[in-house]
Amino acid sequence: MFKPTQLKVLFCLVTALLTLVFIAPLALGIARVEPSKFLFSLKPGERTTGAIKVTNIQETETEYTAVIHDWTLDDQDRLVTFPAGERADSLDGLIKFNPRRFKLAPGQSQYVRFTLTTPVNGDWMERRGIIFFEENRPAKTEEAGSTVVIQVGTTVYLSFSETVHSFRTYGLKVETEENIEPTLLLALANEGQAHIRYQVAYRITSADGTLYEKNTSGERLILPASRRVVSLPFINRPPAGNYHLAVQIRFTGTKETLSAQVPFTIPD
């Protein structure tokens, strides 16, 4: 059972633009989409525009349709998509495309421009969506009217000057049970209104202060109203003895960091 040391650390970033991007290019071999993500921070009622370059990488002429979808992550951080408008954080009704439907010859590119308009009032939670460029293909089946929808997309995030960013750590522990690799466990929560991207760096020192190991995780994402227990196995198993673990959480797009320390013992 995970019983972390209590570390109630909280920071809020209000009216701050975090360069927080969820890299989600769903490349399935039908097109190349550039860029893979957009991040906007606007005032209520403000409008902005963007452009997406779509290139047909197939050997035949293809017709594409731009469609916005809602999305979230499940408990295993796997992408889950929904038709636009099903979630409260949807971009449905806020975004328009030009052109929405178009054909491309092999190797040909098209810039699809979109206009994003923010609501004048309401809940200032981050809005997000995936712009899919869909191709409908006949299914390889004898059933009449069957089609396969193939999608490739780019991710759009929209936050507001009033959006609050809040992150909390609930505990830190080193799992050292017998027959498993020593592992850093870090309990985290996003209690704000926008997603947060972060990296976890750690240093292991022996009782005399000698550095044994250091490592930095890849960039991770946590959505609003989400809790996660981050698991980072050590690169090497330390010999039996007493150690000190120092952890620093770094937040993408800000100079903010959170630090914590915990002693641990590797049994004989």
Asked whether the predicted pLDDT for residue 254 surpasses 60, the reply is yes
Rounded CA separation 232/220 (Å): 12
Could you say which of 140, 160, 180 is where a domain stops?
Answer: 160
Q: What is the pLDDT averaged over residues 74-86?
A: 92
Taking only the tens place, the pLDDT of each residue in 32-44 is 999 999 999 999 8
Q: What is the pLDDT averaged over residues 98-118?
A: 95
Q: What is the pLDDT averaged over residues 207-232?
A: 94
Could you say which of 103, 129, 160 is where a domain stops?
Answer: 160
**Residue 86: which CATH number?**
2.60.40.10
Whether residue 145 is contained in a domain is answered as yes
Whether residue 20 is contained in a domain is answered as no
Residue 59 sits in the same domain as residue 176: no
Taking only the tens place, the pLDDT of each residue in 161-210 is 889 999 999 999 999 987 788 999 999 999 999 999 999 999 999 999 99
Residue 155 sits in the same domain as residue 32: yes
Number of domains in the chain: 2
What 3-state DSSP class applies to 254? coil
Residue 126 sits in the same domain as residue 191: no
Which residues touch 256 (CB under 8 Å, ≥6 apart)? 11, 13
Whether residue 17 is contained in a domain is answered as no
Q: Which has the minimum average pLDDT: 11-15, 178-182, 247-251? A: 11-15
* Domain extent for 257: 164-266
What is the DSSP code string of 202-225?
A: EEEEETTS-EEEEEEPPPEEE-TT
For residues 200 and 221, the answer to whether their CB atoms sit within 8 Å is no
